[in-house]
A and B are shown apart, each in its own frame.
Chain A
Amino acid sequence: GENVEQHPSTLSVQEGDSAVIKCTYSDSASNYFPWYKQELGKRPQLIIDIRSNVGEKKDQRIAVTLNKTAKHFSLHITETQPEDSAVYFCAAPRQLTFGSGTQLTVLP
């Protein structure tokens, strides 16, 4: 079946530093790679996504990069702020499988 591995499971950074979360997938047919953010007690919400025809996409402080050859994609958050503290999930392939999540803590 489809599989996705997400690392790290927890990540603590100082406010203003960058954070990177990586997901590796197995299905080479996948062509859509979203990232979701889930704040404590809330629902997962899409924050950024990328399709396989591009290698990088940015939205203000958030970016996603995709390496189809190596079958991995990463979430990059720059200039982190306390409100970035949450659990982040990748989803792939074909969105029926979610990564195990990364608990990001931004320390003031």
Chain B
Amino acid sequence: DAGVIQSPRHEVTEMGQEVTLRCKPISGHDYLFWYRQTMMRGLELLIYFNNNVPIDDSGMPEDRFSAKMPNASFSTLKIQPSEPRDSAVYFCASSPGQVSNQPQHFGDGTRLSIL
């Protein structure tokens, strides 16, 4: 089991640029989550998918953020245009069943710095 795989591990870019974060969930997991972690706001849920369908995107900060899951083994989180306040660690996680009674498995995260 390779675990949840995220790429890139680190991203440094200038404000205004487009940023794409990628995630491969654990095979067989039906749920996929995107989180943002900062010192000020802690661990925030941005969006989650069930069977590739977005279920709750109420945590997506604004229209600059978008997420897709074209198939069961791949998801992207895109920020366009990026701003310095988007700097954070972004985690992807997957879960084998209903989020209400199954643990989440986190990837190693992408540390994003917007200059």
Residues of A within 8 A of B (CB): 30-32, 34, 42-46, 49, 51, 89, 91, 93-98, 100-101
Contacts and interface: CB of A to CB of B under 8 A. Distances in A.
Interface of A is mostly: loop
Contact of A44 (B45, B91, B99, B101): B91
Contacts of B109: 43
Interface of B: 42-43, 45, 48, 56, 91, 95, 99-109
Contacts of A97: 45
A43 B91 contact: yes
B99 A51 contact: no
B27 to A, nearest CB: 18
Contact of A96 (B45, B91, B103): B45
Contacts of A96: 45, 48, 56, 99
